[in-house]
Structures are given as structure tokens and as C-alpha cells.
Amino acid sequence: MAVNGTQRVTDQFYVSQVQTASTSLGYATTLASQNNLLEVTLSSKSKSLSPALNDFFKGLDSAQADPMDIAYRQKVLSGAEGVANRLLAI
């Protein structure tokens, strides 16, 4: 029986490990880039949801005192419209 060549099993293992690591690195790099873009977009003062959400919940809180009062209902609707406008701006 003649030996025509040898192949090291460890080489195949390491090649497989490098390919897996490269794929994971590419995924993590893309995810980090997208997360950074999202963070920059949402942290902008002009596009922040916090003020709109605060106004909306303040309106809900005040409407709790008298749910039948038209002024309180209008304040809730105005707050909801503010949230919707902020979401559309993003």
C-alpha cells in the first residue's frame, strides 16, 4: 500500500475555526455599525421620543382626574399626536 499524500486533520479544524470566527466577526461588525447608527439617530435632541412621550403620559395622568372632561381628552389626543409626529420624523 502506497501513501500518495497526507492531510492533517488539525489543519481542517483550524481552517473551519477561522471561517466561523470570520463570519461571527462580520456579523458583529455589521450589528455594531447598525446599532451605532440607531443610537445616533435616536439620541438627537430634535428626534428624541422622550419629550413627546412625557407630554403624552402627563396628558393621560391629568385625564385620570376627570375622564369625561373634554379638555383632558384633548390633551391626551394632542400628546398622542405629538408621539406620532416624532415617530414619523425618525
CA 71, CA 74: separation in Å to the nearest integer? Answer: 5
Contacts of 52 (CB under 8 A, 6+ apart): 79, 82, 83, 85, 86
Contact (CB, 8 A) for 72 and 62: yes
Residues spanned by the domain of 30? 8-43
Contact (CB, 8 A) for 71 and 23: no
Q: Are both 51 and 90 inside the same structural domain?
A: yes
Global pTM?
A: 0.53
Q: Is residue 26 part of a domain?
A: yes
| Angle CA 43–46–49, to nearest 5 | 60
Q: Are both 54 and 14 inside the same structural domain?
A: no
Condensed to tens digits (0 to 9), the pLDDT of residues 28-71 reads 999 999 999 888 877 777 777 888 899 999 999 999 988 899 99
Q: Are both 79 and 63 inside the same structural domain?
A: yes
